[in-house]
């Protein structure tokens, strides 16, 4: 399916909302170029699965997958538009409250020379 190639999260974009927007923009351009916009309405579950598998960084993907398993989020699995709206908010919150720190390797703290009295 063409949508699989189009769905990519650019980890160079630091803003979570912009990252989701860029992914969605690329997906829409690809589907429109192939005349497959109908996929978003008729194959929602498939598209949500493709987007979820493409989420980067991996810790965010894992967090999204866990959230989708909750009963209250069941409706998101088949409605692409509600899912993307939810994903924007979730990714922003995830980034805001420290989840994105996991994607960057932390530097080892530099050792300070010991002072002897």
pLDDT in tens, 34-69: 888 888 889 999 999 999 998 888 899 999 999 999
State the Cα–Cα distance between residues 83 and 117, nearest whole angstrom. Answer: 62
Query: The tokens of 116 are what?
Result: 């002897």
Q: Is the pLDDT of residue 2 over 70?
A: no
Model pTM score: 0.72
Mean pLDDT of 77-95: 92
Give the mean pLDDT of the chain. Answer: 80
Whether residue 102 is predicted with pLDDT greater than 80 in this model: the reply is no
Residues 78 and 46 sit within 8 Å (Cβ to Cβ): no
pLDDT at 5: 55
């Amino acid at each position: 399916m063409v949508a699989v190639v189009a769905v990519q999260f650019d980890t160079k974009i630091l803003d979570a909302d912009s990252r989701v927007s860029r992914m969605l923009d690329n997906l829409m351009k690809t589907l429109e170029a192939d005349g497959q916009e109908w996929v978003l309405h008729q194959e929602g579950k498939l598209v949500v699965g493709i987007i979820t598998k493409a989420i980067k960084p991996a810790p965010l993907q894992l967090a999204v997958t866990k959230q989708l398993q909750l009963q209250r989020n069941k409706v998101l699995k088949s409605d692409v538009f509600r899912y993307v709206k939810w994903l924007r908010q979730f990714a922003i919150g995830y980034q805001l409250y420290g989840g994105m720190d996991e994607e960057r390797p932390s530097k080892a703290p530099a050792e300070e020379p010991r002072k002897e009295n």
